[in-house]
Amino acid sequence: MASDGARKQFWKRSSSKVPGSIQHVYGAQHPPFDPLLHGTLLKAAPKAPSTPVKAKRVSTFQEFESDTSDAWDAGEDDGLLAMAAESLNTDVVMETASRVLRNHSERQERHKRREAPGPEQKPKPSAEPPPVPSGDLRLVKSVSESHTSCSAESASDTVPLQRSQSLPHLVTVALGGTSDPSAVSSSALSEREASRLDKFKQLLAGPNTDLEELRKLSWSGIPKPVRPITWKLLSGYLPANVDRRPATLQRKQKEYFAFIEHYYDSRNDDVHQDTYRQIHIDIPRMSPEALILQPKVTEIFERILFIWAIRHPASGYVQGINDLVTPFFVVFMCEHIEEEEVDAADVSRVPADVLRNVEADTYWCMSKLLDGIQDNYTFAQPGIQMKVKMLEELVSRIDEPVHRHLEQHEVRYLQFAFRWMNNLLMREVPLRCTVRLWDTYQSEPDGFSRFHLYVCAAFLVRWRKEVLEERDFQELLLFLQNLPTAHWGDEDVSLLLAEAYRLKFAFADAPNHYKK
């Protein structure tokens, strides 16, 4: 059995043994080469496609490596950019402050009464965050605090920020029945959902939708029946004026299929062949498999990704972009199928004209998203490298024990957080959780770029107990690449978002906050 030091040296020396790689395929005006070979990120030898199971605990690194074909790991880079400041929404801050002042004392006492064990009740330690109470959810404990309070760690290991409470957070809505039924009664949940749905419908029914109000309402989750139209509005695809929407949809759908007619036949040309081949290889690796492996869906995704790559030669196609198609496609398909879960639906039964419209809408909304994060996918992916460096800086200030523990075991943030940034956490949480995350991302200013940083920081600190318990480089990395989130639901996402908002509030306008 090799020593721990020998395993670390072997990991660092042999880039071909790092699980997974990012494939950059440059279409249109770029030759097919991998910029990671010319940079500092590590690249792995290609492996046969397979779909890793998140909930399964892999016993050895060799098993993990053989079962995972695209873990999206990367190496180190010493020339990364420093952390940038972020401005807060003043209206949100003022509203938040007034709510905190009004509710702080009452909520604090309620938390104490609820968390205090009874005479015959023993507290149950758990790796999961505590359930959100059934009443007003505007004030929840921070995720980091919920973990430190359950552990036997000394008070000196807890940074001051972790002892504070989260900012007020609006009530979240259940998405397709994914909420825990034990958290709130079904009648109360239904009443709350109906009330929120009415608010959305009233807002959307006006001649000109107030997008600022729509964002505020959407932050806490969008009801399933109005999610398609709301996403199209928040992404900037549809205009706020109701009368202009039909003409806009018709024009954009016609424009997309003009691209198909003009460009798609070139997929087998020598200059574009590598781009199309890589797209064709990557799509079967996506999830959910039951949906992706349907021939109609595969064809749609191939067209969307190829056309986007051809029309964006500065980046071309990069692995990770393919995952960003799925949430839009699933949400827009929900309007046209009877099944509760889209991956259980037979897409071939959907009328051809409906599928054409869904395909065009998915293309344009994905393009709008990528316009805001395109530096994530240009040469050497500077956007991702910068965000990973910013994440490292942020975690070092909000949870120094976790940061120090990763440093002591020589686990670099790029080795696990590169995928978090590249795929927007889609490989880390179930699709239903991704859809809920994107409700908030689209309602936040620069949600997919800046706010995602704070979500990733909260996500890492969420696992602080498990991270601190791991004392082995290999086991630490395997855990961070295979987190147990298969059974996550709306409450887990709501807690994660509340913690991320708290971090944003504390640090966005104070880049030196808690900095030593």
Q: Are residues 393 and 459 in the same domain?
A: yes
| 202-225 pLDDT tens trace | 999 999 999 999 999 999 999 999
Say if 418 falls within a structural domain: yes
Say if 22 falls within a structural domain: no
Tokens 């082995």, located at residue:
472
Provide the b/e sequence for 131-161 (b: ≥16 CB within 10 Å): ebeeeebbbbbbbbbbbbbbeeeeeebbbeb
Whole-angstrom distance, CA of residue 59 vs CA of residue 50: 18
Cis peptide before 401 (omega within 30 of 0): no
Q: Are residues 347 and 451 in the same domain?
A: no
Whole-angstrom distance, CA of residue 425 vs CA of residue 402: 20
Q: Are residues 281 and 390 in the same domain?
A: no
Q: Are residues 434 and 466 in the same domain?
A: yes
Cβ(425)–Cβ(437) below 8 Å: yes
User: Using H for helix, E for strand and C for coil, what is the string for 206-248?
Assistant: CCECCHHHHHHHHCCCCCHHHHHHHHHHHCCCCCCEHHHHHHH
Rounded to whole angstroms, the maximal C-alpha distance in the chain is 75
Domain of 329?
244-372
How are the residues of the chain apportioned to helix, strand and coil, as percentages rounded to the nearest 5? 60, 0, 40
Whole-angstrom distance, CA of residue 44 vs CA of residue 41: 10
Q: What is the pLDDT along the chain (516 residues), one digit of tens a residue?
A: 445 555 555 444 444 334 344 555 544 434 333 333 334 433 344 444 444 444 444 445 455 444 444 434 333 333 333 333 344 455 554 565 555 455 555 655 565 555 555 444 444 443 344 343 333 333 333 333 444 334 434 333 433 333 333 333 343 333 343 444 444 445 555 888 899 999 999 999 999 999 999 999 999 999 999 999 999 999 999 999 999 999 999 999 999 999 999 999 999 899 999 999 999 999 999 988 889 989 999 999 999 999 999 999 988 999 999 999 999 999 999 989 887 777 778 898 899 999 999 999 999 999 999 999 988 998 889 999 999 999 999 999 999 999 999 999 999 999 999 999 999 999 999 999 999 999 999 999 899 999 999 999 999 999 999 999 999 999 999 999 999 999 999 999 999 999 999 999 888 766 565 554
**Residue 147: its pLDDT value, please?**
41
Domain count for the chain: 2
**Residue 507: its pLDDT value, please?**
83
**Residue 394: its pLDDT value, please?**
95
Whole-angstrom distance, CA of residue 122 vs CA of residue 130: 15
Tokens 């795929």, located at residue:
423
Whole-angstrom distance, CA of residue 217 vs CA of residue 219: 6
Predicted structure pTM score: 0.68
DSSP letter for 269, please.
S
Whole-angstrom distance, CA of residue 91 vs CA of residue 76: 39
What does the block give as tokens for 272?
């574009």
What is the torsion angle, in degrees rounded to the nearest 10, for the CA atoms of residue 440, residue 446, residue 448 and residue 452? Answer: -80
DSSP three-state, residue 270: coil
Q: Are residues 388 and 334 in the same domain?
A: no
**Residue 344: its pLDDT value, please?**
78
Say if 471 falls within a structural domain: yes
What does the block give as tokens for 49?
């496609």
**Residue 96: its pLDDT value, please?**
53
Cβ(254)–Cβ(246) below 8 Å: no
Of 315, 349, 372, which residue is a domain's last?
Answer: 372
* Residues whose CB falls within 8 Å of the CB of residue 420, separated by 6 or more in sequence, listed in order: 391, 428, 456, 459
Say if 142 falls within a structural domain: no
Say if 396 falls within a structural domain: yes
Q: Are residues 291 and 330 in the same domain?
A: yes
| 234-274 pLDDT tens trace | 999 999 999 999 999 999 999 999 999 999 999 989 999 99
Whole-angstrom distance, CA of residue 477 vs CA of residue 458: 18
Say if 312 falls within a structural domain: yes
Q: Are residues 357 and 404 in the same domain?
A: no
Say if 262 falls within a structural domain: yes
Whole-angstrom distance, CA of residue 143 vs CA of residue 437: 16
Of 372, 401, 417, which residue is a domain's last?
Answer: 372
Of 324, 352, 372, which residue is a domain's last?
Answer: 372
Alpha helices in 78-140 (DSSP H): 90-115
Whole-angstrom distance, CA of residue 22 vs CA of residue 406: 23
Q: Are residues 403 and 345 in the same domain?
A: no
Q: Are residues 364 and 264 in the same domain?
A: yes
Q: Are residues 251 and 318 in the same domain?
A: yes
Whole-angstrom distance, CA of residue 508 vs CA of residue 336: 41
Whole-angstrom distance, CA of residue 76 vs CA of residue 414: 6
Q: What is the DSSP annotation of 419-438?
A: HHHHTTTTTTS-HHHHHHHH
CATH number at residue 437: 1.10.472.80
Cβ(493)–Cβ(437) below 8 Å: yes
